[in-house]
């Protein structure tokens, strides 16, 4: 067993920078979309927001524009949305997805899903169950893209989120509100709540790829890949998935034992 195998419990791919890494992931997604097209099937993508996947969406838009990649058989489900928030608000993840991806490709927008931040609080539970049902009816997620929070969150599953959690209303960690304050005028404007799919929802995807860029992510990447599985680091639950990989730039990989203790 190599040093890498003995410490790393999730396969890790490391690229020189986020652009090269994103191009690799975009090609993988494009191959899957085309394969599904040949089979006459939809391709169900689980999508993320935040600063991390922006480079991936740029690459996907480029593949559409310059290589004729069609998203007509695409069905998408986003991980999360602030609550409450109007879909056209500057910081809404509906708006984010339109701006960074959906407005620039040929996907049928009625096949795109982002949790609704305007649902009445009394109806959130039923809404969350419906969101899960829709994923199931679409055939389940073929390829789930994730980012990772500095506290190890995936989606908005903050530390303490259970392995079996489903889609639900959650309170955001203060560290998350601080990290996302740049999208708002001040931290006070960052919503305290969000709707997120659960850890269990994420783990049902047939393939999961977590993207991580920059040295600020390196400590939590190491904990997720090499540490014990714990709800203190929600991304560590990905160790239990049979087809998950982490795609990192060199900065995000630098705390891994293979680099720390060569």
Which residue numbers are catalytic? 158
**CB nearer to ligand PGA: pick between 115 and 147:** 147
The least distance separating ligand PGA from the CB of residue 180, rounded to whole angstroms, comes to: 7
Tell me the number of residues near ligand PGA by CB under 6 A. Answer: 7
The least distance separating ligand PGA from the CB of residue 232, rounded to whole angstroms, comes to: 16
DSSP 172: P
Burial bucket for residue 189 (CB in 10 Å: 0-12, 13-18, 19+): exposed
- Residues 151-210 close enough to bind ligand PGA by CB under 6 A: 153
Q: Find the part of the chain contacting ligand PGA (CB under 6 A) among 90-98, 105-113, 142-150, 245-253.
A: 142-150
Contact status: 239 vs ligand PGA (CB under 6 A): no
> Which residue number has the CB closest to ligand PGA?
50
**CB nearer to ligand PGA: pick between 73 and 201:** 201
The b-or-e profile of 117-133 (16+ CB within 10 A means b, else e) is bebeeeebeeebeebbe
**Residue 201 contacts by C-beta under 8 Å, 6 or more apart in sequence?**
132, 135, 165, 166, 167
Q: Find the part of the chain contacting ligand PGA (CB under 6 A) among 30-38, 57-65, 143-151, 238-246.
A: 143-151
Q: Which residue intervals of the chain are DSSP H helices?
A: 3-7, 18-38, 54-67, 93-100, 124-137, 174-179, 199-203, 218-226, 250-253, 257-260
How far is Cα 175 from Cα 123, in angstroms, rounded to an integer? 28
Residue 195 and residue 166 in contact, taking contact as beta carbons nearer than 8 Å: no
Contact pattern for ligand PGA over residues 21 through 50, marking x by CB under 6 A: -----------------------------x
**CB nearer to ligand PGA: pick between 52 and 201:** 52
Contact status: 149 vs ligand PGA (CB under 6 A): yes
Q: Which residues bind ligand PGA (CB under 6 A)?
A: 50-52, 147-149, 153
């Amino acid at each position: 067993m190599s040093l890498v195998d003995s410490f790393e419990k999730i396969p890790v791919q490391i690229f020189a920078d986020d652009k090269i890494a994103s191009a690799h992931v975009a090609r993988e997604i494009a191959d899957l979309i085309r394969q599904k097209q040949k089979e006459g099937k939809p391709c169900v993508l689980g999508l993320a927001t935040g600063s991390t996947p922006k480079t991936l969406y740029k690459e996907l838009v480029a593949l559409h524009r310059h290589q004729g990649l069609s998203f007509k058989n695409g069905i998408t489900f986003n991980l999360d949305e602030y609550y409450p928030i109007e879909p056209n608000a500057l910081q809404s993840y509906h708006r984010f997805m339109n701006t960074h991806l959906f407005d620039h490709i040929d996907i049928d927008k009625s096949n795109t899903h982002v949790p609704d931040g305007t649902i009445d609080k009394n109806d959130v539970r039923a809404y969350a169950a419906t969101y899960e049902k829709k994923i199931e009816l679409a055939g389940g997620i073929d390829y789930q893209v994730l980012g990772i929070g500095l506290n190890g969150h995936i989606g908005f599953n903050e530390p303490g989120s259970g392995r079996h959690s489903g889609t639900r209303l959650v309170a955001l960690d203060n560290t998350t509100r601080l990290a996302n304050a740049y999208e708002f005028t001040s931290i006070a404007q960052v919503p305290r709540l969000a709707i997120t799919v659960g850890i269990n929802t994420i783990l049902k995807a047939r393939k999961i790829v977590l993207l991580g860029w920059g040295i600020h992510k390196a400590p939590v990447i190491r904990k997720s890949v090499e540490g014990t599985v714990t709800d203190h680091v929600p991304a560590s639950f990905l160790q239990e998935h049979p087809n998950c990989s982490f795609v990192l730039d060199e900065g995000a990989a630098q705390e891994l034992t293979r680099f720390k203790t060569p």
